[in-house]
């Protein structure tokens, strides 16, 4: 695949659905901009923001390694005033090698939470076992 996470590419909107817009990146590659990635502000309908045939610049958010599906974002390239940001390697808002995770992976809890709950979990399990024995 010719694209990597963080690439900023031009494409053409080829289809609009209630959940997002399909963008043709080249002759064989298409990606999806989820409705939440169209812009920073809430939008009711994708068609209010994008039209079929519109040329747009998008950032590759994710590439599913199994299906090859590409997730795109327009929101990452638009600032709070809805101006398209110029992509440069020095722009802190556009880090080319940033991988977008939909988790709280930046929080380093590890297994501390489970370890803290272990005594309660063990005593609860033992009390359940004891009550099952008496039945």
Q: What is the pLDDT of residue 39?
A: 84
* Average pLDDT, integer, range 103-112: 52
Nearest Cα residue to 32 out of 56, 122, 82, 93: 56
Tell me the backbone φ, ψ of residue 62, rounded to 5 degrees.
-160, 150
Q: What is the pLDDT of residue 92?
A: 45
Average pLDDT for the chain: 78
Tell me the backbone φ, ψ of residue 27, rounded to 5 degrees.
-65, -25
User: 13-51: per-residue pLDDT in tens?
Assistant: 999 999 999 999 999 999 999 998 988 778 889 998 999
Q: What is the largest CA-CA distance in the chain?
A: 71
The residue to which tokens 């409705």 are assigned: 35
Q: Residue 101: how many CB atoms within 10 A of its CB?
A: 10
Pair 1, 69: CB distance under 8 Å:
no
**pTM here?**
0.60
pLDDT surpassing 50 at residue 134: yes
């Amino acid at each position: 695949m010719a694209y990597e996470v963080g690439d900023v590419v031009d494409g053409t909107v080829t289809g609009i659905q209630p959940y997002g817009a399909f963008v043709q990146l080249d002759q064989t590659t298409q990606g999806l901009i989820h409705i939440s990635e169209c812009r920073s502000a809430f939008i009711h309908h994708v068609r209010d923001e994008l039209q079929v045939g519109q040329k747009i610049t998008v950032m590759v958010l994710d590439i599913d390694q199994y299906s090859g599906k590409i997730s795109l974002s327009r929101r990452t390239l638009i600032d709070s005033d809805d101006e398209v940001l110029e992509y440069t390697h020095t722009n802190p808002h556009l880090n080319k090698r940033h991988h977008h995770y939909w988790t709280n992976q930046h929080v380093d809890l590890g297994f501390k939470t489970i370890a803290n709950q272990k005594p309660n979990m063990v005593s609860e399990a033992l009390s359940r076992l004891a009550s099952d024995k008496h039945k």
